Amino acid sequence: MKVLIADDHGIVRQGLASLIDKQLNIEVVGEAKDGREALNLARELSPDIIIMDVSMPNLNGADATRLILSENPDIRVIALSMHTEKRIVRDIIQAGAIAYVLKSYMFDELTKALEAAAAGEFYLSPRITGVVLEDYLSQGQREKKSGLVELTVRERQVLQLTAEGKTVKQIARQLHVSPKTADAARRKLMNKLDISSIAELTKYAIREGITSADF
């Protein structure tokens, strides 16, 4: 079984790789520092499982998962996060992750998550199970849907890159489009969300878990 680790913290990647290699006898075939690198390595290495940090710069874990599974639906994604917020858990599970492990318990729970993923089964950290159940039960009474669910994957990428301070030229370079196309995409995004400034767009992205204030 081949595993790819995607996390923007090198020390976390090293710790996970060491744990998997020494205790689980599973091959770690690659490490990625953000979602975009994870996408490229998934294409190159075709891992069986990806351990995917939810919050990463340039391309977050949920959107990376969507893109990876759209190309290779056989890959199983284990989400790794410090967050227990419903919207963040919901987002990456809807993206296709079959496990969600909290970073505070990852060394205790990762073995169970890997075993479940290898068997094609779901696994949630015990603290997350209640969050998911509460979210499911409250769906019928949920307030007006967040505009986030109406965004395409490309629009979510533009949102994250803008919120992380990237210029139009930098966004164009990352998405392999022209600056004119990137600028038009950003203006369309702002109109769609009824947001008139980059500052408000940044606040929205952080509030919805698309990016983190730490980046």
As a whole number, mean pLDDT of residues 23-45 equals 93
Residue 123 has pLDDT above 60, yes or no: yes
DSSP reduced 3-state for 3: strand
- Domain locations in the chain? 2-139, 147-207
Residue type, 81: S
Instruction: Decide if domain 147-207 falls under CATH 1.10.3720.10.
Output: no
Q: Is the pLDDT of residue 137 over 70?
A: no
CA distances from 115 to 120, 122, 151 (A): 9, 10, 34
Asked if the model's pLDDT at residue 172 lies above 70, the reply is yes
Q: Give the whole-number percent of the chain exceeding pLDDT 90.
A: 59
The amino acid at 146: S
CATH fourth-level superfamily of 2-139: Response regulator (3.40.50.2300)
Q: Return the ∠ at Cα 40 (arms to 37 and 44), rounded to 5°.
A: 135
